[in-house]
Chains A and B, each alone.
Chain A
Amino acid sequence: METEILGIVIIYFVILIIIGFLASRRVKTFRDYIIATAQINMALLMGTVIATQWGGVTVMGIPGLGYREAYRAVYYALGAVPRFLVWALLLAVPIWAAKPWTVTEWFSQRFDKKNGYLIAILNVIGFLGLIAGQLVATARIFSVMTGLPFETAILLGVVVVTIYTATAGILGVIYTDLFQFILIFTGVATLTVVAHANIGLSTIKTNLPSEHWSLLGLDGVAYFITLFILWCADLPYNYVIQRISSARTRKIVFMAPLFGAISYLLTAYFGAVLGSYAAYVLPGLKATDEAVIRLSITLLPPIGAGLLCAALLAVTMSSADTYINAPTSLIVHDLIRPFKPSLTDKQLLAISRILTVVLALIATVLGLWLRGIITVLITFLYFTIAAIPPFIASVFWKKASAEGSFWAMLIGGIVSAGLRFANIYRLTPAGNFYGIYLPAWLGIAISTIILVILSIAKPKTSGKEIKTVGGGIISPEVQHIIKLMPW
């Protein structure tokens, strides 16, 4: 059985590298590497938006929650629905109109350079954790399915992801994402159908305890609101800006996240149902994140389990490649290039590729250290929770000022991440309230209050105002950059 599974996974890796190589032939410049400027059609953008989001936490973690409580999984996944609607209805079109290369550029345009540097630093910290988490998830799947040691599995995964991310840049990431999205959907849907046919919903409804199907009352409401905030916390990440700027038309940039919202209806259903089936078939599982993998081994023939292994690897690796590419763009475009303007396009491209490898290696070390703690991924989102209010305000609140945005992100971020880490190190009481809810709620509340008070108390100067994408003000220097852009 292990040989068949391994064979399918190797074929999958070879296909990924071929796609990456083919995409690399279209990478001619540094810009091609970091954004696929207005090149991406509807299918590709949908594939990349959904596949990036359907990472290890979504496809392994949500069924893991559903293993214990079905509606915990539902609320976790449904928190992504309003988050995708915020992306589509509020953020996508105004940002697409400016087509910033990076999130730093967007914050610099809308506020000032200080804000740009701060969001870049927050992104890089957050991304390192996200990459490490995806690599850990990848290694977990690989080692459970094939019997390979964890260390070997994580190294194999990082080699493949790094090769095609470093070779093909954002185009390779987007093309492989579409391929991976098809695999993910097919794999998870097949397992659900097989479970329905072999076991049946009525069986698990009857045999699992009634608490398993509880709506969770007020705790459920608090959990859903917190998860919505956490889902929104990865909106001010560079990969969101990259995807918005890569869309070919205004309609495509709107429809892709709309379908992202729809896709999470399926995730909520698959997560709750597969977790519940696993709870019935495999009682007493300690590592509940492995519920889907172990359920597939139990219910599917070896070839089916191998395909699902490839699908699960697809979701974690498609997130990993994006998370590696995005901070690379930030560091090279926003932190290296401004200080070394003499660097040529070829040199920037070479630095990007080297940096991709370096980031992957750092994340591998982090992954080997964190090993198996997928839920700790959420922790890194607490760094950017406080960036949500300034990011959304940048699109429609003209009075939002640079001072307000900067201090809102800094103080709100310190409070939310600080409280989260305090709970991890057991400095605050255990449980969801102090561990998840309070850090998120305080972070968003403090950020919003600071943004509003400082923006009103210290409004922007009107001397250099230029009408802007977000309805705010941008400096003549940035307006000049926009005019220089080729679109």
Chain B
Amino acid sequence: MSSEKSSVELHLPPSVVKIATLIILVVTVIVLVVFAITMFIHPLLDLVAILIMFVIIYYIGTWYYNKYLGRLGE
């Protein structure tokens, strides 16, 4: 628990906030465009589109965590 206690000192630097905001905007645009263009044509195509968006959100999220949040406060 000592490592957690030391992290009480951390905060989000402005550069990290900017990257997070950019990710939120990009992901939002991607999901809106995918739903507007490719959805409700065929169930299998819909499933593939959802899986692709799943992978995009998961990998962008884990990249952001590993690069910025995982080491924050160290």
Chain A: minimal CB distance from B28 (Å): 5
Whether B57 and A94, one on each chain, are in contact in the complex, defined by CB atoms closer than 8 angstroms, is no
Interface residue? A349 (CB, 8 A): no
Residues of chain B in range 59-74 having any CB-CB distance to chain A below 8 Å: 61, 64-65, 69-70, 72-73
From B2, which residue of chain A is reached at the shortest CB distance?
A487
**Interface size (A, Cβ < 8 Å)?**
47
Chain A: minimal CB distance from B35 (Å): 5
- Contact of A395 with B12 at beta-carbon distance under 8 Å, contacts A90-B20, A250-B7, A258-B61 already known: yes
Whether B40 and A468, one on each chain, are in contact in the complex, defined by CB atoms closer than 8 angstroms, is no
Set of chain A residues within 8 Å of B40, measured between Cβ atoms: 70, 201, 205, 213, 272-273, 276
Set of chain B residues within 8 Å of A282, measured between Cβ atoms: none
Whether A81 and B65, one on each chain, are in contact in the complex, defined by CB atoms closer than 8 angstroms, is no
Interface residue? A191 (CB, 8 A): no
Most buried by B among A89, A266, A273, A487: A89
From B13, B24, B32, B73, A85 is in contact (CB under 8 Å) with: B24
Please measure, in the bound complex, the distance between the C-alpha atom of A395 and the C-alpha atom of B69, giving whole angstroms: 13
From B46, which residue of chain A is reached at the shortest CB distance?
A269
Whether A265 and B24, one on each chain, are in contact in the complex, defined by CB atoms closer than 8 angstroms, is no
Whether B36 and A97, one on each chain, are in contact in the complex, defined by CB atoms closer than 8 angstroms, is no
- Contact of A396 with B11 at beta-carbon distance under 8 Å, contacts A81-B28, A258-B57 already known: yes
From A94, A258, A265, A273, B31 is in contact (CB under 8 Å) with: A265
Residues of chain B in range 17-32 having any CB-CB distance to chain A below 8 Å: 17, 20, 23-25, 27-28, 31-32
From B12, B31, B41, B43, A81 is in contact (CB under 8 Å) with: B31
Whether A201 and B12, one on each chain, are in contact in the complex, defined by CB atoms closer than 8 angstroms, is no
Chain A: minimal CB distance from B70 (Å): 7
Whether B11 and A78, one on each chain, are in contact in the complex, defined by CB atoms closer than 8 angstroms, is no
From A82, A88, A98, A471, B28 is in contact (CB under 8 Å) with: A82
Chain A: minimal CB distance from B62 (Å): 8
- Contact of A201 with B11 at beta-carbon distance under 8 Å, contacts A258-B57, A258-B61, A265-B54 already known: no
Residues of chain A in range 466-487 having any CB-CB distance to chain B below 8 Å: 467-472, 482, 487
- Chain B's interface size range is 35 or more
Please measure, in the bound complex, the distance between the C-alpha atom of A255 and the C-alpha atom of B65, giving whole angstroms: 9
- Contact of A468 with B11 at beta-carbon distance under 8 Å, contacts A86-B24, A265-B31 already known: yes
Whether A94 and B43, one on each chain, are in contact in the complex, defined by CB atoms closer than 8 angstroms, is no
Chain B: minimal CB distance from A472 (Å): 8
Interface residue? A402 (CB, 8 A): no
From A261, which residue of chain B is reached at the shortest CB distance?
B57
Set of chain B residues within 8 Å of A113, measured between Cβ atoms: none
Set of chain A residues within 8 Å of B25, measured between Cβ atoms: 82
Chain B: minimal CB distance from A277 (Å): 11
Interface residue? A268 (CB, 8 A): yes
- Contact of A487 with B12 at beta-carbon distance under 8 Å, contacts A74-B35, A89-B64, A90-B17 already known: no
Taking Cβ atoms with an 8 Å cutoff, the residues of A that contact B are 38, 70-71, 74, 78, 81-82, 85-86, 88-90, 93-94, 97-98, 196, 201, 205, 213, 215, 224, 250-251, 254-255, 258, 261-262, 265-266, 268-269, 272-273, 276, 395-396, 398, 467-472, 482, 487
**Could you name 11 residue pairs across A and B whose Cβ atoms are closer than 8 Å?**
A85-B23, A86-B24, A89-B64, A201-B41, A201-B42, A213-B40, A250-B70, A258-B57, A272-B40, A396-B14, A468-B8
